């Protein structure tokens, strides 16, 4: 999810990332029947007309929850997240979503409190304020994401995307000492226009996305055993050979409440939940996030997390502050 448009105006010059070294490429994942196609919820607008109030939970909080914050870190630091009652923290690679990378010392400070820290970045799309954007060959960039102006789906299967964007981002996460990566926009395989993919169909694109995630996993774990791979959404990719073995967990948005305070009742909600449960049963942890502010909705989401054995957070769609951890049942 792109929530960082407010930072774009501050970025005046962008250049392309270059990769520091060659990698040992993994084999492409072979074909398998894809999951059924689904109709997805539209993403919320990039700059909502009105920000929802932060949800409020006042009862005792366990350390099993997680924090998901991608912008507006208090005083530009991670102290608030380090001191919070979270077991896992997901933050952007850079405090400004550009090149002001979080340092190894900053990540070590959060990890020293017993937390896992995951680096957020997108693998199927690119925002026009990201540092790599202007240096990309134009044929790599596909259609604009209508729900997120300024964000474009990309030919994620192209070797140049790996060399110029994905591998350098994984390298940055490794250098900074993150515990792993939190990979957004696997759903690009469903959303990129077929006019932009050189004759590929959706089945092929699903295999390509699973292959990319497996490649990230092999690359990261070869350099740091135990490096965590956590894609966001698209749990149906578990039907692709190699995908489930490649990941350690999955992040899931809006399983129970869509932004904001709207119960998730469409068919795809039930489909996503069923696929997520299957990954849980396969031994993968689940980081679930819902966007709600009404106390009854916050409590309902928290109850779902407890019943499903998911690690959950209820927060605001801007992802500009950490949400409170659900109370212990």
Alpha-carbon distance of 108 to 73, in angstroms, equals: 17
Q: What is the dihedral of CA 311, 6, 170, 147, to 10 degrees?
A: 70
Alpha-carbon distance of 259 to 60, in angstroms, equals: 26
CA nearest to 144, candidates 153, 133, 132: 153
User: Tell me: the pLDDT tens digits for 248-302?
Assistant: 999 999 999 999 999 999 999 999 999 999 999 999 999 999 999 999 999 999 9
Q: What is the DSSP letter of 132?
A: T
- State the pTM of this model: 0.84
Structure tokens of 281? Answer: 């049963």
Listed in sequence order, the residues at least 6 apart from 116 whose beta carbon sits closer than 8 Å to its beta carbon are: 87, 88, 89, 179, 180, 228
Q: What is the pLDDT of residue 325?
A: 86
User: Tell me: the pLDDT tens digits for 102-150?
Assistant: 999 999 999 999 999 999 999 999 999 999 999 999 999 999 999 999 9
For residue 207, give the 3-state DSSP assignment: helix
């Amino acid at each position: 999810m792109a929530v960082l448009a407010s930072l774009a105006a501050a970025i005046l010059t962008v250049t392309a990332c270059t990769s520091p070294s060659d990698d040992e490429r993994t084999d492409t994942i072979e074909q398998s029947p894809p999951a059924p196609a689904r109709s997805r919820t539209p993403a919320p607008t990039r700059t909502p007309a009105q920000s929802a109030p932060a949800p409020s939970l006042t009862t005792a909080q366990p350390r099993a929850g997680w924090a998901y914050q991608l912008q507006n870190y208090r005083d530009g630091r991670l102290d608030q997240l380090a001191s919070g009652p979270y077991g896992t923290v997901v933050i952007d690679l850079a405090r400004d979503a550009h090149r002001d990378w979080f340092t190894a010392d900053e990540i070590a400070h959060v990890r020293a409190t017993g937390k896992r820290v995951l680096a957020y970045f997108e693998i199927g799309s690119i925002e026009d304020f990201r540092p790599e954007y202007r240096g990309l060959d134009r044929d790599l960039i596909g259609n604009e994401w209508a729900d997120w102006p300024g964000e474009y789906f990309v030919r994620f299967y192209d070797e140049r995307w790996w060399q110029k964007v994905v591998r350098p981002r994984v390298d940055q996460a490794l250098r900074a000492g993150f515990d792993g990566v939190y990979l957004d926009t696997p759903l690009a395989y469903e959303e990129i226009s077929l006019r932009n993919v050189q004759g590929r169909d959706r089945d092929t694109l699903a295999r390509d996305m699973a292959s990319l995630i497996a490649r990230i996993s092999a690359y990261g774990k070869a350099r740091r055993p135990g490096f965590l791979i956590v894609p966001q959404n698209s749990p149906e990719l578990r039907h692709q050979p190699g995908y489930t073995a490649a990941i350690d967990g999955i992040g899931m948005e809006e399983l129970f409440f869509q932004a904001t305070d709207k119960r998730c009742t469409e068919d795809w909600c039930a489909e996503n939940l069923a696929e997520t449960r299957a990954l849980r049963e396969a031994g993968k942890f689940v980081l679930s996030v819902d966007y709600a502010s009404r106390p009854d909705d916050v409590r309902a989401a928290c109850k779902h997390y407890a019943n499903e054995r998911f690690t959950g957070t209820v927060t605001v769609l801007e992802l500009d502050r950490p949400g409170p951890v659900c109370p212990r049942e």
